[in-house]
Amino acid sequence: MTETLACVSGAFAVSGAAVWWSGRRELIQRWLSWLVIVPLVGGAFWLGPPGAFALAAGVGLVAVLEYGHLLGLRALDRALMGGALVAFPLVAWLAPEHLIRVLFGALLVAGLITLLERDPDRGMNRAYGVVFGLAWLAPLTGLVVLGDLAPPLCAAVAVADVAAWCGGKLLRGPALSPHSPAKRWGGVAGGAAGGIAILVAFGAATPATVLAVAVGAPLGDLLESMLKRSRGVKDAGSWLPGFGGLLDRIDSLLITLAVAVVLS
């Protein structure tokens, strides 16, 4: 633990100096946000399974608020999603043998709730929005399910995002996808290299975690970009300095966790 704290403190000191030297307002805001995020996430994992549950549930609730606002979902839809995203990690912690039943049960209820409300005009769109949202955000349960693998995966994705930005600027290359024309294959290479390096440093590099970070992180970023482009917005929120909203910060992590859970 002492060595980890020393490494994190050193990384913050070096990155902070580089960011302040750059003079870029957005990078400074992101660094200051990380200064708050890292102790919160690290403290949650330090508490063990209860902390991982609290982290997954808290992030899930904030993500539901942003997602519901993005799609214009009703209060009932948001309440259903919020309850499910608290229930998923709670069951994963206390009764993991029932997790699959709870997951499928929540998706079934979400798909059928609009029938009970008799909302013929928006029923299908609402059902799609809630089911997709639950499927997209459910991998947060991986923060509990993956146990000791969850912290290094979170760290790897965080570094991969920074490395992808640097790689995209330095290496460039062809555009990655029309869903996000600014992203380049050079960024994918840089992000994979940075993320895998962190996994190796934590002793958590396995075929499953390497694939999860190298492939899952950029796919998660593209998935949210596609969603935002369909809604005509740049960011999912505006309250998190340097990032926009929480969904803009965890988009890469969601698919990474999903891949890691499936392959682990």
pLDDT, tens only, 119-177: 666 767 888 899 999 999 999 999 999 999 999 999 999 888 888 888 877 877 787 77
> Taking a C-beta distance cutoff of 8 angstroms, is the pair 183, 151 a contact?
no
Least confident of 55-59, 178-182, 236-240: 178-182
Q: Sign of dihedral through CA atoms 207, 210, 215, 221? A: positive
What is residue 84's three-state secondary structure?
helix
pLDDT of residue 18: 66
Does the structure show a pLDDT above 80 at 255? Answer: yes
**Residue 59 above 90 pLDDT?**
yes
- Using CA atoms, how far apart are residues 133 and 139, in angstroms rounded to an integer? 11
Residues counted in the chain: 264
Residue 242 Cα to chain centre, angstroms: 16
pLDDT at residue number 184: 81
Residue 57 burial (10 A CB sphere; 0-12, 13-18, 19+): buried
Average pLDDT over residues 212-216: 95
Q: How far is CA 180 from the centre of its chain?
A: 17
Residue 120 is predicted with a pLDDT of: 65
In angstroms, how far is CA 28 from the centroid of its own chain?
Answer: 21
Closest CA to 152 of 204, 206, 210, 217: 204
- On the question of pLDDT at 36 being above 60, the answer is yes
Tokens describing residue 167: 């790689």
Residue 2 has pLDDT above 70, yes or no: no
Q: Which tens digits make up the pLDDT trace of 89-124? A: 999 999 999 999 999 999 888 877 766 766 666 767
pLDDT band at 4 (very low <50, low <70, confident <90, very high): low
Average pLDDT over the chain, rounded to whole? 87
What per-residue confidence (pLDDT) applies to 178?
75
Q: How far apart are CA 98 and CA 92, in angstroms?
A: 8
Mean of pLDDT values over 63-86: 93
pLDDT of res. 51: 97
The torsion of the CA quartet 66, 69, 71, 77, rounded to 10 degrees, works out to: 90
Q: What distance in Å separates the CA atoms of residue 219 and residue 198, rounded to the nearest whole number? A: 19
Of 166 and 211, the structure prediction assigns the larger pLDDT to 211
Spatial distance between the Cα atoms of 124 and 114, rounded to a whole number of angstroms: 8
pLDDT score for 43: 92
For the chain, the C-alpha Rg in angstroms (whole number) is: 19
Highest mean pLDDT among 2-6, 93-97, 119-123, 180-184: 93-97
What percentage of the chain exceeds 90 in pLDDT? 51
* Of residues 201 and 257, more confidently modeled: 257
CB 213 within 8 Å of CB 153 = yes
Q: What is the pLDDT of residue 261?
A: 96
CA-to-CA separations, 219 to 81, 177, 248, 254, in angstroms, rounded: 23, 10, 13, 10
**Confidence at residue 168, expressed as pLDDT on a 0 to 100 scale:** 77
Q: How many CB atoms lie within 10 A of CB 5?
A: 10
Higher pLDDT, 27 or 238: 238
